[in-house]
Amino acid sequence: MSEHTEIDEGIISLRNESVPVTQVVVRDASLGYENLVVTEGLNFGISAGDYLCILGENGSGKSTLIKALLGLKSQIAGEIQWYGGLSGKDVGYLPQQTVVQRDFPASVREIVRSGCLASMGWRPFYNKAEKQLAEEKMQRLGISEFADRCYRELSGGQQQRVLLARALCAAKKMLLLDEPVTGLDPKAQNDLYELIEGLHQEGITIIMVSHDVGAALKYATHILHIGSQRQLFFGTKADYLQSDVGEGFIASQGGEQA
């Protein structure tokens, strides 16, 4: 931390309307399990209002990176530094759907409210403010009419909106979305992307793990591309389009997109 103090203070002192506020900085991080390094040399930063898209093939360590950002797994080397009182717990997480959830008997309201758990501590029941927050988020994502419906009866797109509402109850500043459009039809995919873009416009930082280059290039402000065991690119979208990595990857994915 010591050698970075000057920079860190510089970053923190720059907090005003026009200059982006740094929320998290990852420096020389290596991630993996006891003896197995999944990915190393990660260097990137995320500021308030960014829309970062993390690209990479399967097995490139995307899910390990997610765990590290959420604070569920500590890095082998390097550091992940949070600013402005944030931590991995303040990230609203939209995980991939599990088998268990497909036939789970729970109402939409119950699921959205469970996003408020973190603020409860030892208190066993939700208070008024938390219930109110859940209603607001359901309203925002247009799922109020489903509030009493059963989760398993909803369409894939509606289910993702429920989980997104839950994530918004858990975090106000940052969302981490893990392959959010997997399994949705093109229309529902597009709707969800637009909804996420709407949240981004409201000032929420978005981190999206995806292998959908098309969406990444359309919506993201920054791109982090990780290859096997190392970081290939981090920077703004404009820079990515100019880079060899970007050009190569877009060309290789281009066939699928067309």
Partner 1 sequence: MIEAFQTLQFYFTNYPFVRYAFIVGLLISLCSSLLGVTLVLKRFSFIGDGLSHVAFGAMAVATVANLTNQMAIVFPVTVLAAILLLRTGQNTKIKGDAAVAMISVGALAIGYMLINVFSKSANVAGDVCSTLFGSLSILTLKASDVWLCVIMSIIVITLFLLFYHKIFAVTFDESFAAATGLRTNAYNLLIAVITAMIIVLAMNLVGSLLISALIIFPALSAMRLFRSFKAVIICSAVISVLCAAFGIILSILCSTPVGATIVCADIVVFFVFSLTAKLTGRTE
Residues forming contacts to partner 1 in the complex (CB under 8 A) are 70-72, 88-89, 91, 93, 95, 98, 100-101, 104-107, 110-111, 113-115, 117-118, 120, 124-126, 148-150, 152-153, 163, 166-167, 170, 176
Residue closer to partner 1 by CB (options 49, 71) is 71
Burial class of residue 4, CB neighbours in 10 A (0-12, 13-18, 19+):
middle
Residue closer to partner 1 by CB (options 149, 230) is 149
Minimum gap (Å) between residue 244 Cβ and partner 1: 35
Minimum gap (Å) between residue 68 Cβ and partner 1: 12
Minimum gap (Å) between residue 73 Cβ and partner 1: 10
Residue closer to partner 1 by CB (options 88, 246) is 88
- DSSP assignment of 18-52 equals SSPPEEEEEEEEEEEETTEEEEEEEEEEEETT-EE
Which residue intervals of the chain are DSSP H helices? 5-13, 62-70, 99-102, 108-113, 128-140, 156-170, 186-201, 213-219, 237-242, 244-257
Non-local CB neighbours of 188 within 8 Å, separated by 6+ positions: 155, 156, 157, 181
Minimum gap (Å) between residue 104 Cβ and partner 1: 6
Minimum gap (Å) between residue 185 Cβ and partner 1: 19
Residue closer to partner 1 by CB (options 161, 237) is 161
Residue closer to partner 1 by CB (options 169, 213) is 169
Task: Check the CA dihedral 99-103-109-110 and report its sign.
Answer: negative
**Mutual angle of helices 186-201 and 156-170, in 10-degree steps:** 20
